[in-house]
Amino acid sequence: MASNGLTYDGCNFFRQRLVLSTLSGKRVKIRNIRSKEDDPGLRDFEASFIRLLDKVTNGSTIEINQTGTVLFYRPGLLYGGCIEHDCSLQRSVGYYLEALLMLAPFMKTPLKATLRGVTNDPTDPTVDMLKFTALPVMKKFGIDGEGLDLKVLKRGMAPGGGGEVLFTCPVRRIIRPVQLTEPGKIKRIRGVAYSVRVSPQMANRIVESARGVLNQFIPDIYIHTDHMKGVHSGKSPGFGVTLVAETLEGVFLSAEMASTPQGQGDPVLPEDLGRNCAKLLLEEIHRGGCVDSSNQSLALLLMTLGQQDVSKLLLGPLSPYTVEFLRHVRDFFQIMFKMDVRKPLEDERKGGEKVLMTCVGVGYSNLNKTLK
């Protein structure tokens, strides 16, 4: 830790460091970015992410050395407003949206962001998954109202992209603490099977195979088929599915799969994709918790920034990404979580072991909203 900010080595967890730097107001220096590789420095998608941060803040200073291996970032004030951004095709729109979800509630004016690029790929969380799972998490912390929405205007598969997404989010001065310790039992399963520039039957075949697995456990299943045509179908063919299980306590657990991008790797059959995604959903239900594994870091950040009161959240096993996020939260906000591992009794049939996360929020107040 440097006296004038924080210093990190390497390109891992790039977004975490810049997002937490922006929220905490602490400067950050990232050095040795792929310095030992044949092609050193920032990648195109990382440079695109920096440009997006520059658009939603006012007064940020970003310095990159000639080789792109050292980045110095001094955050400005989060401003928001209406922005448009063409995302790098190396990563999907979900890569950028995950960061915007963390930043948007703390801006000066409500955010209205139009992002263009790849909406669905096998690597990053898709727009559909974030809409079904991340937005309900934000609502539990008091970030709700008419202004919170995520719409797919055009669907773009990898590698060509051509998709377009509209994300709107209201601002909040404070985040309320939560007590989320009971996930509840699964009451229904919903989802969307999508296809672009291929036969509409692909989506129907996915639905049939997914239902073949899930109908053994629960009758209330509805998977919507979405086949976009013409200008709304992007530049590359593909298909995929996002499945979401909803509990009696309003918890959403999700899984998703997308077809192999055109020209990359072996093609996948829609039947296999639907079946495998259904099994992934069952695995996510077994992991359990009050937030699914893809949104653990978002929920933990909102707990950290909540009012100076105790927040509790029951999670399934922590992902490696979440573990590193907790280390960064300690660096930027000096917040440590109490972790209580809970092993379920055999006769309870409540899935795998859980972790009860407890912390006292820093009492973060949205100064950007109060400044005129």
Here the tokens at position 171 are 């601002």
Q: Which of 311, 296, 286 is nearest to 361 (CA)?
A: 311
CA distance between the termini of the chain: 34
DSSP letters, 312-352, are EEEESSPPHHHHHHHHHHHHHH----EEEEEPPPGGG---S
Reported as a pLDDT band with limits 50, 70 and 90, residue 160 is very high
Distance CA 147, CA 314 (A): 28
Higher per-residue confidence, 365 vs 188: 188
Give Cβ neighbours of residue 320 (< 8 Å, ≥ 6 apart): none
Which pLDDT value is given to residue 307? 93
Q: Where are the beta strands (DSSP E) in the chain?
A: 6-9, 28-31, 57-58, 61-64, 71-74, 77-78, 80-86, 109-117, 149-154, 163-169, 179-180, 186-196, 221-228, 238-247, 252-258, 310-315, 338-342, 354-360
Which pLDDT value is given to residue 348? 63
Reported as a pLDDT band with limits 50, 70 and 90, residue 351 is confident
Q: Is the confidence at residue 371, as pLDDT, over 60?
A: no
pLDDT digits (tens, 9 = 90+) for 194-215: 999 999 999 999 999 999 999 9
Among the residue ranges 113-117, 133-137, 330-334, 363-367, the one predicted with the least confidence is 363-367
The answer to whether 109 and 137 have CB atoms below 8 angstroms apart is no
Which pLDDT value is given to residue 145? 79
Distance CA 340, CA 292 (A): 18
Give Cβ neighbours of residue 71 (< 8 Å, ≥ 6 apart): 29, 30, 31, 33, 42, 50, 62, 63, 64
Q: Map residue 148 onto helix, strand or coil.
A: coil
Q: Is the confidence at residue 372, as pLDDT, over 80?
A: no
Burial of 338 (0-12, 13-18, 19+ CB in 10 A): exposed
Question: Residue 352 — φ and ψ, nearest 5°?
Answer: -80, -175
Which pLDDT value is given to residue 225? 97
Average pLDDT over residues 146-172: 96
pLDDT digits (tens, 9 = 90+) for 33-65: 999 999 999 999 999 999 999 999 999 999 999
pLDDT digits (tens, 9 = 90+) for 75-92: 999 999 999 999 999 999
